[in-house]
Every structure is written in structure tokens, then in C-alpha cells.
Amino acid sequence: MLIRFGTIRAFEARTYLADVELGGYVATYVSNVPVAYHLRQDLVVDGTKCVVLFLDALNPSNAVVIALFSGRPAEDPKFDPVVGHRHMGVVGDGPKLG
């Protein structure tokens, strides 16, 4: 196994495949790399840094994007950073204030 850093250059949400530019190799792209399903599709955008796991170092088609970093999700108007979750508008949803 081999782990490389990269940059997302394209992403197809329908197939969950990405084109990744490998770090340290200018203009070297690996196409149609599967993206792990635990990664939110709104975060997999052009320019987001990523970690790619190559299961076989000699076969670039046998890889998967396992982590994203250096990116930020779109603001969620229902998310309350103080409470740390989304409000559902039901009784008892939220902390008890002293």
C-alpha cells in the first residue's frame, strides 16, 4: 500500500469518482479515482486537498480517496455551533441553560 497527497481537480457526484492531481508530480493526474462514501460530496470540489490510498503502488487504477482537508463546507443555516448540532425545532432540542 502507498499513501499520497493530492488535489481534487474534478468530481462526478453521480458515480462518486474524482480526478486527482498527485502532490509532487506537477500536472500528473489519476482519473476516475473512487471517493470513499463517508466523504460529503459538497466538500469534494476542485482545489480541495486529499489523501489517496493506492492499494497497489504499481496500479494507479487501484486507488481510493480516503480523506479531505484544506476545505470548508458550505454554511448550514440550521447548524448551531454553540450546541454543536442542527436544531429540529422540537421541545427539548438543545441544552438547558442555567
Any idea what the CATH number is for the domain that residue 27 is in?
2.40.50.140
Sort 1 into a burial class: Cβ within 10 Å, 0-12 / 13-18 / 19+: exposed
What is the domain extent for residue 12? 2-69
Compute the Cα dihedral for 69, 71, 73, 79 and give only its sign.
positive
In a domain, 53, yes or no: yes
In a domain, 54, yes or no: yes
Residue 86 has pLDDT above 70, yes or no: no
> Residue 77 has what pLDDT?
60
Distance between CA atoms of 4 and 53, rounded to whole angstroms? 7
**Radius of gyration of the chain from its Cα atoms, rounded to whole angstroms:** 18
Overall domain count for the chain: 1
In a domain, 87, yes or no: no
Residue 84 has pLDDT above 70, yes or no: no
Q: pLDDT of 2-31, one tens digit each?
A: 999 999 999 999 999 999 999 887 778 899
Q: Which three cell numbers stand for residue 84?
A: 454543536
Could you tell me the pTM of the whole model? 0.70
